[in-house]
């Protein structure tokens, strides 16, 4: 898991809960599929174009890889670098949205696009698309370009990220992290269709904007079985936010988190009493969407915080040094529902019944709103 210093902890957590719509001077969109595709990817091109329309974005350029193309990787690389070059030349911040529908595979350990399930033709997407934008030497913060990849196929990213202070965002949404033949369901249920439908629903509910990490949270909550959408931030600790083109009367930040995770943060030194109080005070002021709370704090030479947050918040911190997922959509702790606490008897003749009664009394008196206050009081006694 590693650890991060207190300043990094503050910066990354604040970036993850901050929802600020960026003004993009230009948005470049590209959708890619194979002519020989056997997943009906053409329908997903239409879903993607409809999604862009709801976001008030011009139609995407469509690239269909010909069945007769002898060098598909070179062709995609040329188109990608052309769009990349246009974005780099913009003086103001720009956004690239790349969409692919079809088969995804791992060839020699590298993420690749495949023409069919048999994979007779492949493109090293890891090398063509991802390696460049992850490399700060080749894709520096100074070019003012964010990238959103939407992969309607399997994609998995496990590399740990450093908690760097960067304004750029390189974000990935994918159909699943599991390599399976069912990664692309029938056309009306594909990941692209679900994402486009979620954005259309938010527009119909008059949301001001859509954060893609939040859209992922909803799709993840509604998914069942092995094929579940996945999300990764390759660079940054924020998610792409785009305005919707409806009446925009509802601030999405006012909507309580409906799907949460439990996670641990390992900070390299103990926090002072003042720092903990400041952290608790800041958490209390956050809008409902964040769902952020401190469950417990442990002093272990460094300091380990057990926290709960909306999946849309934690998704921006996943695989970042110092952060570790404990449980997704956790229910109430089972310990509170058993008659006796697990563990050895305490010293000096104190009985479990007395401890259990005291625990239940305290739990009944504390509401969800004052849990942080109870934590702060306990920490005051310990520090």
Same domain, 144 and 287: no
Same domain, 239 and 295: no
Number of domains in the chain: 2
Same domain, 34 and 100: yes
Q: Are 304 and 297 in contact (CB under 8 A)?
A: yes
Task: Kindly state the tokens that stand for 160.
Answer: 């740990």
Same domain, 154 and 80: yes
56 belongs to a structural domain: yes
pLDDT at 57: 96
121 belongs to a structural domain: yes
Question: What distance in Å separates the CA atoms of residue 375 and residue 112, rounded to the nearest whole number?
Answer: 48
Q: Judge whether residue 225 has pLDDT over 50.
A: yes
* Mean per-residue pLDDT, 189-200: 94
Q: Which domain holds residue 290?
A: 6-11+257-328
- DSSP assignment of 289-349, as one string? GG--EEEEEEEESEEEEEEEEEHHHHTTTTTBTTEEEEEES--S-GGGGSSS-SSPPPSTT
350 belongs to a structural domain: no
pLDDT at 218: 95
Q: Distances in Å between the alpha carbon of 301 and those of 5, 11, 268, 378?
A: 13, 22, 8, 19
Q: Which of 307, 328, 349 is the last residue of a domain?
A: 328
Question: What is the CATH classification number for the domain harbouring 324?
Answer: 3.30.70
Per-residue pLDDT band at 187 (split at 50, 70, 90): very low
Q: Are 268 and 5 in contact (CB under 8 A)?
A: yes
Same domain, 262 and 246: no
| Mean pLDDT (the chain, rounded) | 85
pTM for the model stands at 0.84
Same domain, 183 and 294: no
Per-residue pLDDT band at 21 (split at 50, 70, 90): confident
Q: Of 117, 121, 104, which is closest to residue 68 (Cα–Cα)?
A: 121
| pLDDT tens, position by position, 78-122 | 999 999 999 999 989 999 999 999 999 988 889 999 998 888 899
Same domain, 122 and 219: yes
Rounded to a whole number of angstroms, the CA Rg of the chain reads: 23
Q: Are 106 and 179 in contact (CB under 8 A)?
A: yes
| CA-based end-to-end distance of the chain | 25
Same domain, 225 and 289: no
Question: What distance in Å separates the CA atoms of residue 118 and residue 74, rounded to the nearest whole number?
Answer: 21
| pLDDT tens, position by position, 37-70 | 988 899 999 999 999 999 999 999 999 999 999 9
Task: Kindly state the tokens that stand for 132.
Answer: 């460049």
Q: Which of 227, 254, 281 is the last residue of a domain?
A: 254
Q: Are 92 and 236 in contact (CB under 8 A)?
A: no
| pLDDT tens, position by position, 253-269 | 999 998 999 999 999 98
* Mean per-residue pLDDT, 130-152: 92
Task: Kindly state the tokens that stand for 293.
Answer: 């709370």
Question: What distance in Å separates the CA atoms of residue 193 and residue 63, rounded to the nearest whole number?
Answer: 19
Same domain, 100 and 177: yes
pLDDT at 383: 45
Same domain, 129 and 212: yes
């Amino acid at each position: 898991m590693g650890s991060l210093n207190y300043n990094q902890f503050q910066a990354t957590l604040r970036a993850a809960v901050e929802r600020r719509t960026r003004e993009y001077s230009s948005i470049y969109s590209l959708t890619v599929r194979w002519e020989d595709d056997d997943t009906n990817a053409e329908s997903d091109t239409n879903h993607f174009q409809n999604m862009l329309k709801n976001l008030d974005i011009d139609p995407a350029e469509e690239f269909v890889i010909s069945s007769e193309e002898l060098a598909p990787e070179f062709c995609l690389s040329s188109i990608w670098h052309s769009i990349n070059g246009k974005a780099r030349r913009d003086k103001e911040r720009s956004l690239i949205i790349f969409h692919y529908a079809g088969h995804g595979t791992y060839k020699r350990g590298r993420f690749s696009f495949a023409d069919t399930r048999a994979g007779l033709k492949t493109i090293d997407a890891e090398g063509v698309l991802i390696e460049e934008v992850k490399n700060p030497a080749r894709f520096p913060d100074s070019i003012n370009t964010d990238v959103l990849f939407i992969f309607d196929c399997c994609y998995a990213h496990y590399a740990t990220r450093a908690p760097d202070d960067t304004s750029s965002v390189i974000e990935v949404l994918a159909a699943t992290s599991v390599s399976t033949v069912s990664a692309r369901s029938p056309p009306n249920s594909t990941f692209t269709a679900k994402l486009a439908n979620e954005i259309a629903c938010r527009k119909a509910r008059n949301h001001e904007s859509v954060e893609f990490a939040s859209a992922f949270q909803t799709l993840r909550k509604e998914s069942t079985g092995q094929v579940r959408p996945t999300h990764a931030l390759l660079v940054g600790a924020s998610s792409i936010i785009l305005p919707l083109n409806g009446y925009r009367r509802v601030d999405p930040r006012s909507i309580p988190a409906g799907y949460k995770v439990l996670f641990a943060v390992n900070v390299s030194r103990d926090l002072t009493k003042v720092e903990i109080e400041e952290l608790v005070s800041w958490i209390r002021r956050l809008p409902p969407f964040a769902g952020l709370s401190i469950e417990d704090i442990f002093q272990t030479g460094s300091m380990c915080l057990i926290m709960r947050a909306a999946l849309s918040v934690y998704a921006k911190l996943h695989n970042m040094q110092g952060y570790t997922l404990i449980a997704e959509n956790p229910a109430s702790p089972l310990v509170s529902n058993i008659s006796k606490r697990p563990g050895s008897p305490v010293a000096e003749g104190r009985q479990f019944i007395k401890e259990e009664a005291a625990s239940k009394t305290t739990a009944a008196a504390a509401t969800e709103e004052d849990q942080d206050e109870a934590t702060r009081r306990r920490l005051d006694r310990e520090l």
